[in-house]
Amino acid sequence: MTTTTVCRSSKHIDLPCIHKVAWYAPLAWLQAGSQDFRTYWLQSLGYGVLFAALGYALVHASWTSPHLAMTLTTGFLLVAPFLALAFYELSQRRELAARGGRIGTWFGSARQNLASIGLLAVVLAIMLSAWERLSAIIVGIHLGTARVPDASLAWLFSGDNQAFILAFVAAGAVMAAIVFAISVVSIPMLMDRQVDVVTAIMTSLAAVRENPAAMLLWAALITGLSGLGVATDFVGLAVIFPILGHATWHAYRGLVSR
DSSP codes, 152-183 = HHHHHTSGGGHHHHHHHHHHHHHHHHHHHHHH
- Domain membership of residue 12 (yes or no) is no
| 252 touches 35 (CB < 8 A) | no
- Domain membership of residue 15 (yes or no) is no
What domain range includes position 242?
28-99+107-255
User: What is the tally of structural domains in the chain?
Assistant: 1
Question: Greatest CA separation found in the chain?
Answer: 65
Q: How much is the pTM?
A: 0.89
Strand partners, 4: 20
pLDDT digit string, tens, across residues 115-154: 999 999 999 999 989 988 888 888 778 766 656 554 455 6
- Domain membership of residue 125 (yes or no) is yes
At residue 219, the pLDDT reads 95
Question: In b/e form, how buried is each residue of 17-51, taking b as 16+ CB within 10 angstroms?
Answer: ebbebbeebbebbbebbebbbebbeebbeebbbeb
pLDDT digit string, tens, across residues 23-74: 999 999 999 999 999 999 999 999 999 999 988 887 777 666 666 667 777 7
- Domain membership of residue 3 (yes or no) is no
- Domain membership of residue 8 (yes or no) is no
- Domain membership of residue 21 (yes or no) is no
- Domain membership of residue 9 (yes or no) is no
At residue 151, the pLDDT reads 43
- Domain membership of residue 11 (yes or no) is no
**Dist. CA 222–CA 132, nearest whole Å:** 21
